[in-house]
Structure 1
Amino acid sequence: MRLFALLAATLLLPSFASASALSLTLPGNTTVLSDEVQVLDGYALPLGPFQDGALPVKSLTGKVQRSSWRVGISGLSAQQLRTPLEEQLISMGYEVLFQCSTQACGGFDFRFETEVLSAPQMHVDLGDYHFLSLQKGGEDHVGLMVSRSANAGFIQMIHVTMPEEQLAALQPDPTGDESVETVADGAAPEPAMPKLDGDVVQDALIATLREQGHVVLDDLAFATGSADLGVERFASLATLAGFLRENAARRVVLVGHTDAQGALDGNIDLSRRRARSVRSRMVKDHGVSAAQLEAAGMGYLAPRASNLSPEGREENRRVEAVLLAAE
């Protein structure tokens, strides 16, 4: 029986474009997890699988709406969630630019190279997820990620539109005044993680990691454009290493992030090298098994502060630990 038989109610999404609202029909027991709009923002829409160390993307700028939902139906696969959504979007005039599932997308690497809302706004099962890139009219794009947990399905949609007034705003200032810096930050800034300091570093780091599923290793030091980790002994790494050595089943992904200076491809490469540098330090100096650590990079796609100030850019140059398996 088709999934549409389960669609007992309609959930209307807010209007993203000035001409008409984009609406999808979702199951009646669907819960909105996130719904945020940035009037002018950026998004890197994947156009192919992750391969040869890179993810091909189309860099978009415009009005960006990031939405996610939890579908309270157990036993659904990502494919079952994806199919009716894809059919609805195609019926609205969207064409599919790229589609993939799990390993065909690039598995773990694709998941951590593309923009995904932080938990609990989105959950992605690394063994079962689907992704779609769609376009309508050249100025309307959608990135759709679907996945599931044991008890529910999860849907994320990032919708980018570029109305005429926004396109005009992106043109160079005819007065020649370049005093305002324009930067596409990618994802909407996340709330800053607690600063880790002194005697509280161990409790704060591990508590945040367990409760939120990820934590910023805030005492690490990287200079702009460098992947070299400072030579000092960082308390966050010692604490994280102790947590991992306690139980060999625990696994984390070290995810590097940069500020928004420079091209996306270069920043993704830099952020990945930063994560690998931290992974190497954890293995060599702290005795953590390499099997418990992965490394990935997101460039400037997930800032936690504005890239328009030196202080914000410094906060965005960071490495986060993402918990994959707690026990």
Structure 2
Amino acid sequence: MAGLKRLLLLFPLLAGGACMAQALDLTVPGDADLTREEQSAAESYLLPTGPFADGKVPSIDVEGLVTRQAWRIEGEGLTTLKLLTPLRDQLQEAGYEILFDCADRECGGFDFRFNISVLPAPDMFVDLFDFRFLSARKKDGAAAEYVSCLVSLTGETGYLQLVTVGGGQAPTIEIGEIGAVTPATPPQPVEAAKLIEQLLGQGHVVLPDLEFDSGSAALAEGPYDSLAALAAFLNADAARRIALVGHTDTVGGLDPNVALSRRRAASVLERLVSRYEVPRAQMESNGMGYLSPVAPNTTEAGRETNRRVEAVLLNAE
């Protein structure tokens, strides 16, 4: 298969005293070379299941055959997203449940990196500002297999660490050629009439074109069609009132997320006051943190959808 190399991870199957192996067969974009492999027949591994918080990385202690591999991947136009997405898709197709999926600062940055097990350099390299991680589990009755993937990038060289833990038979994954990852869709122009129609019809509407940096409450410069439409609606009648409500994904604890969602909603309110001259008395702001998701938080796309600010209609007369 041109430009692709399969990554083979072995799980043991003990039967009649003999040890046979089934391979978890994964494919990544680019040209991959195995640079390090360590295997222990009976070992425990702390599998990360959440971002660094309160001085530690939430983990579950899993036991069995532990295989650690480091791969170096060369290819033009590589990104950590292009490296991790095919692995995630293949694991899910094989019936694995994604337990945790994060990118650099969402994981906990420096603290996450240095509180998980990482193979040493030069076999594994982790750029603290450009890495992604996921952990996954597949259950078959009482038995379970676990996989963690850590990817990073330096220049056009990708680094991948795969850790597997399992004592049962794992399926072989037959995968065809992996195409390029489709980039995220940029915010689309907001049609003012439809935005206000949804606000009046449903009582709330997501302001879809707002942009915040990850972990930041500062609203980017804009301009934003959604805010212009909302301002025109409010300025047309002084009796109209709305609440601006911020929402986050599940990365981090509840209290920090509630605080962040409140600050983001407040930033939107201040922009409407300062740039669109909407009277402050017609608006209020608050935040729900991650308590009101509209998509699964197990994928980057789902987390992106959950990071939003909504306008809630309080009074239209």
Greater fraction of residues in strand: 2
Larger-gyration structure (1/2): 2
Q: Give the TM-score range, shorter chain.
A: 0.3 to 0.5
Higher normalized helix content (fraction of residues): 1
TM-score (norm 1): 0.46
When normalised by structure 2's length, the TM-score is: 0.47
